C-alpha cells in the first residue's frame, strides 16, 4: 500500500476475543458512537438466533452456497467452527474501503490470521477479561453449567497467547473504559501522519501567515 492509498482508502479495525469477554457489547456501543464506521456483516451457515436479522447480524446462507462462494474465492477469510461456516466477503470489504469508508470486523482468531495475510493495513485489537476469576463469575451469572464453564476457561487459557499477534490489547474490566480504549485506538490510527498527508500539504501550500 503506498502513501496515497493509505490516505484515501478506509481503514479497518479487527476485533477478536475469547468467548465471554464482552466483545459484542464493546462492538455495539462503539458502532453506536461512530455511525461513520461500517460494520462488516459476516456470512454464516448457522441458524439465526432469536432477535437476529438477515443482513444486519449475519447473512444466513446454506452450506452449499457457502462452499460455492469459497470455490469462487469470494471470502477474504473464512473458517469452520463445530460444523458451521463463517466468512467475510472480500468484495464487500474492497467496496467500502475503496470508497474511503472505515470498517469494523468482529472475527475469530483464525480468521484474523488469514485476513492479515490477505489484506494489508488492518488494525488488530484483542479483548481480554481482567482475570480468569472475573470471567468465571460472568459465566456463572449467565447460568452456564460448571462443566461448560470449565471447558470455556480452559479454552480461554489457550487463546490468551494469541494476543501477542495483535496490535492492541484491551482489558475489559469496565465496559465504558473498554469502549473508550477502542475509540482511542481508532482515533490514534486516524491521526497517523500518513493519513493526514492532504491536511499537512494544505498547510504547507498556504501563502499567508
Within a domain: residue 82?
Answer: no
Domain count, the chain: 1
CATH of the domain at 186: 3.40.50.300
Q: Hey, what's the cell of 74?
A: 469470494
Q: Hey, what's the cell of 28?
A: 455495539
Within a domain: residue 63?
Answer: no
Q: What is the extent of the structural domain holding 196?
A: 3-40+102-205
Within a domain: residue 60?
Answer: no
pLDDT in tens, the chain (209 residues): 444 466 689 999 999 999 889 999 999 999 999 999 999 999 999 999 899 999 999 999 999 999 999 999 999 999 998 789 999 999 999 999 999 999 999 999 999 999 999 898 899 999 999 999 988 988 888 888 899 899 889 988 989 999 999 999 999 999 999 999 999 999 999 999 988 898 899 899 998 76
Residue pair 124/106 in contact by the 8 Å Cβ criterion: no
- Tell me the residue length of the chain: 209
User: Under 8 Å CB-to-CB from 176, ≥6 apart: which residues?
Assistant: none
pLDDT in tens, 166-208: 999 999 999 999 999 999 999 999 999 988 898 899 899 998 7
Within a domain: residue 177?
Answer: yes
Within a domain: residue 173?
Answer: yes
| Bridge-based pairing state of the strands 84-89 and 37-39 | unpaired
Amino acid at each position: 500500500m503506498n502513501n496515497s492509498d493509505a490516505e484515501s482508502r478506509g481503514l479497518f479495525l479487527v476485533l477478536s476475543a475469547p468467548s465471554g469477554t464482552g466483545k459484542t457489547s464493546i462492538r455495539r456501543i462503539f458502532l453506536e458512537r461512530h455511525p461513520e464506521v461500517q460494520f462488516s456483516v459476516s456470512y454464516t451457515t448457522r441458524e439465526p438466533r432469536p432477535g437476529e436479522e438477515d443482513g444486519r447480524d449475519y447473512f444466513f446462507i446454506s452450506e452449499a452456497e457457502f462452499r460455492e462462494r469459497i470455490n469462487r474465492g469470494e471470502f477474504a477469510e473464512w473458517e469452520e467452527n463445530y460444523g458451521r461456516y463463517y466468512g467475510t466477503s472480500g468484495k464487500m470489504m474492497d467496496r467500502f474501503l475503496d470508497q474511503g469508508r472505515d470498517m469494523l470486523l468482529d472475527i475469530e482468531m483464525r480468521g484474523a490470521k488469514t485476513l492479515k495475510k490477505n489484506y494489508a493495513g488492518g488494525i488488530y485489537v484483542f479483548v481480554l477479561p481482567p482475570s480468569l476469576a472475573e470471567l468465571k463469575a460472568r459465566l456463572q451469572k449467565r447460568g452456564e453449567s460448571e462443566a461448560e464453564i470449565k471447558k470455556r476457561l480452559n479454552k480461554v487459557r489457550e487463546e490468551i497467547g494469541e494476543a501477542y499477534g495483535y496490535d492492541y490489547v484491551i482489558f475489559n474490566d469496565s465496559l465504558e473504559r473498554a469502549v473508550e480504549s477502542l475509540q482511542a485506538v481508532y482515533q490514534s490510527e486516524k491521526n497517523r501522519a500518513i493519513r493526514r498527508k492532504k491536511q499537512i500539504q494544505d498547510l504547507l501550500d498556504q501563502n499567508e501567515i
